[in-house]
């Protein structure tokens, strides 16, 4: 690693080893960019934890670390502050050299991980035979960003769209498909929601239909060929709808990534058998259940995970056990990431506990559950249409592009119609994604057009605008890019602040790959855009005092634009040369 943060951490580690002996060098030094640049550029708080372990005064520990710290070319002598913080101010020369290296690096410091892993990301995963609605937005968008971050670090990602393509509702849907003519040849289902609702109405009201639907479920589960063919058609119709949404959203999911619940059907009996063989199965009211350790309900009783109903039917949990086993054994991955709403927290935790107890997951496999809150309307209630219905994703995306068009038309009236359409789509889709990704995912967030499309603040349009503004500097300067051989110099405070921000890309992306919290990328973008704004206000570029400074600043501008583009790209958001 060559970024400042890693270099500082390494030198602190060396200083600890020198001052207190090798055995303490393992202590994670935790170096952070300083919140207050007056104190320096970075701050380390290792002296507090180390002091505690050593039973020594943390300030004295900090002094001892500083005394051994090799500043050599990197920084001025670090200063100890408060209870034992170590403040570090980098030299101009180091910053200039680091910025120069960064500018010459196509990856801008986002280096491949030392040990690339193979990682399953299970995301989007809608229940089929219903049109995708706003509830599916978050898993799809957050999952996509996580996939992009992991891939940028050189990991091999196996995308798994664990769609709900199996279950008793398919009986009634298939019967309705036959009756409505949708089972014929090339017939498409135009509106999946209406189709589903019509089937449900008949299922509830018409005893004959109800009975046929139940029989159809039996045929489906019994593997009847004609029924399976009809089921297949229904699944494809649903997938076609989902694909339209994926394409318009610009997420990476492909048909190849579909690995629905139905793919695990044949593996389910063996799941039960093996749980039994491990003595994990118990009977409860005729159902087969497992009591994973550590799960106690409100009544102080152990909580069961039901894996087979009393009628022999399998459940969501059974399929998930088969899936996790497949991912560990067949796909042979190092890590599995689930992206679902927070209400599934307990389900996933219990299921994984059972999988671990049964040995369905290799011990070394890391599992993460990426949970998220709800999308709320401006009334703070679950987001609905004005009429109180579920918001279809496709309608939402169209709406966003239309609203974006109105804003862009006002700001930049001279775009052609074709340019306008492109800008509106990129801004509209970007705004929706960014609004979702920029809020701490565990919280609910309020869906507000006004906020997400604002040209100021932590929004996609602001970042896209910042990008286009940098590009316009080059147009005004009459050059394509920074001059070859431009050398970075860092003297003005605003230049320093910008460079420090640029150097944070690598560490930020690496930390997101670990904590899977994409809002840190948005926070990064916002800080970068603000640092650039300040730089641009206080450091003339085209009218720089001399040619060398102008070249240096042009290079910083270009690097900033590339950084914005790269990080927005990790969020699945596009940039525009003009907007």
CB of 10 or CB of 306, closer to ligand ARG: 306
Site string for ligand ARG, 345-384 (x = CB under 6 A): ----------------------------------------
Q: Compute the least distance from the CB of residue 415 to ligand ARG, in Å.
A: 40
Binding test (CB under 6 A) with ligand ARG, winner from 29, 33, 78, 126: 126
Q: What does the block give as tokens for 255?
A: 């048909």
Binding test (CB under 6 A) with ligand ARG, winner from 65, 182, 323, 525: 323
Binding test (CB under 6 A) with ligand ARG, winner from 131, 165, 320, 495: 320
CB of 11 or CB of 369, closer to ligand ARG: 369
Binding test (CB under 6 A) with ligand ARG, winner from 29, 84, 164, 292: 164
Report whether 44 contacts 85 (CB < 8 A): yes
The C-alpha atoms of residue 534 and residue 556 are separated, in whole angstroms, by 13
Number of other CB atoms surrounding residue 36 within 10 Å: 8
Q: Compute the least distance from the CB of residue 290 to ligand ARG, in Å.
A: 17
Can residue 518 be called a binding residue for ligand ARG (CB under 6 A)? no
Q: What does the block give as tokens for 59?
A: 């300030």
CB of 144 or CB of 320, closer to ligand ARG: 320
Q: Compute the least distance from the CB of residue 136 to ligand ARG, in Å.
A: 7
Report whether 212 contacts 176 (CB < 8 A): no
The C-alpha atoms of residue 551 and residue 154 are separated, in whole angstroms, by 33
Report whether 121 contacts 339 (CB < 8 A): yes
Stretch that binds ligand ARG, among 38-46, 62-70, 122-130, 306-314 (CB under 6 A): 122-130
Q: Compute the least distance from the CB of residue 22 to ligand ARG, in Å.
A: 44
Q: Compute the least distance from the CB of residue 164 to ligand ARG, in Å.
A: 4
Q: What does the block give as tokens for 75?
A: 């920084």
Closest-CA residue to 338 (of 429, 351, 254): 351
Interaxial angle between packed helices 92-103 and 4-20, expressed in degrees from 0 to 180 and rounded to the nearest 10: 130
Can residue 482 be called a binding residue for ligand ARG (CB under 6 A)? no
In sequence order, what are the residues at sequence separation of 6 or more whose Cβ sits closer than 8 angstroms to the Cβ of residue 223?
A: none
CB of 125 or CB of 318, closer to ligand ARG: 125
Q: What is the CA radius of gyration of the chain?
A: 28
Closest-CA residue to 88 (of 109, 65, 107, 116): 65
Can residue 216 be called a binding residue for ligand ARG (CB under 6 A)? no
85: β partners: 81
Stretch that binds ligand ARG, among 85-93, 118-126, 397-405, 547-555 (CB under 6 A): 118-126
The C-alpha atoms of residue 206 and residue 420 are separated, in whole angstroms, by 51
Residues in contact with ligand ARG by CB under 6 A are 122, 125-127, 162, 164, 320, 323, 338, 340
């Amino acid at each position: 690693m060559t970024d400042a943060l890693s270099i500082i951490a390494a030198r602190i580690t060396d200083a600890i080893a020198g001052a207190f002996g090798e055995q303490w060098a393992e202590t994670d030094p935790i170096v952070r960019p300083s919140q207050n640049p007056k104190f320096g550029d970075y701050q380390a708080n290792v002296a507090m934890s180390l002091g505690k372990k050593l039973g020594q005064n943390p300030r004295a520990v900090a002094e001892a670390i500083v005394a051994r710290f090799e500043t050599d070319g990197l920084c001025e002598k670090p200063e100890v502050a408060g209870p034992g913080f170590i403040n570090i101010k980098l030299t101009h020369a180091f910053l200039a050299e680091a910025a120069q290296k960064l500018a010459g690096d196509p990856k801008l410091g986002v280096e491949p991980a030392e040990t690339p892993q193979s990682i399953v990301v299970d995301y989007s995963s809608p229940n089929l035979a219903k049109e995708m609605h706003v509830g599916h937005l978050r898993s799809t968008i957050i999952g996509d960003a996580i996939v992009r971050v992991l891939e940028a670090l050189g990991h091999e990602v196996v995308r798994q769209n664990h769609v709900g393509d199996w279950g008793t509702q398919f009986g009634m849907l298939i019967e309705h498909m036959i009756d409505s003519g949708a089972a014929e040849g090339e017939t498409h289902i135009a509106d999946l929601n209406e189709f589903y609702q019509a089937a449900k109405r008949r299922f509830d009201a018409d005893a004959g239909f109800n009975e046929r639907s139940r029989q159809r479920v039996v045929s489906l589960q019994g593997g009847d060929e004609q029924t399976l063919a009809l089921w297949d058609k229904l699944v494809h119709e649903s997938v076609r709808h989902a694909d339209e949404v994926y394409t318009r959203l610009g997420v990476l999911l492909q048909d190849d990534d579909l690995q629905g619940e139905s793919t695990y059907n044949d593996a389910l009996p063996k799941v039960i058998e093996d749980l039994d063989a491990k003595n994990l199965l118990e009977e409860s009211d005729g159902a087969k259940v497992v009591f994973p350790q550590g799960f106690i309900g409100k009544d102080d009783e152990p909580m069961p995970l039901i894996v087979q109903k009393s009628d022999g039917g399998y459940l969501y949990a059974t399929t998930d056990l088969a899936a996790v086993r497949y991912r560990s054994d067949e796909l042979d991955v190092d890590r599995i990431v689930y992206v679902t709403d927070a209400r599934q927290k307990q389900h996933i935790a219990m299921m994984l506990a059972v999988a671990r107890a049964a040995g369905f997951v290799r011990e070394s496999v890391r599992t993460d559950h990426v949970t998220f809150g709800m999308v709320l309307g401006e009334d703070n209630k679950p987001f609905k249409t004005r009429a109180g219905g579920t918001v279809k994703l496709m309608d939402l995306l169209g709406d966003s592009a239309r609203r974006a068009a109105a804003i862009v038309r006002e700001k930049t009236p001279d775009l052609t119609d074709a340019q306008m359409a492109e800008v509106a789509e990129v801004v509209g889709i970007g705004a929706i994604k960014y609004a979702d990704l920029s809020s701490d995912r565990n919280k609910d967030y309020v869906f507000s057009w006004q906020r997400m499309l604002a040209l100021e603040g932590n929004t996609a349009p602001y970042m896209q605008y910042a990008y286009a503004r940098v590009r316009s500097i080059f147009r005004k300067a009459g050059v394509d890019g920074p001059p070859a051989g431009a050398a970075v110099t860092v003297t003005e405070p605003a230049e320093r602040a910008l460079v420090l921000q640029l150097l944070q890309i690598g560490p930020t992306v690496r930390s997101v790959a670990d904590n899977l919290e994409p809002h840190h990328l948005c926070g990064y973008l916002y800080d970068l855009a603000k640092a650039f704004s300040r730089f641009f206000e206080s450091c003339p570029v085209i009218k720089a005092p001399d040619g060398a400074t102008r070249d240096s600043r042009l290079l910083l501008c270009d690097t900033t634009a590339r950084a914005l583009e790269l990080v927005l790209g990790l969020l699945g958001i596009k940039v525009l040369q003009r907007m």
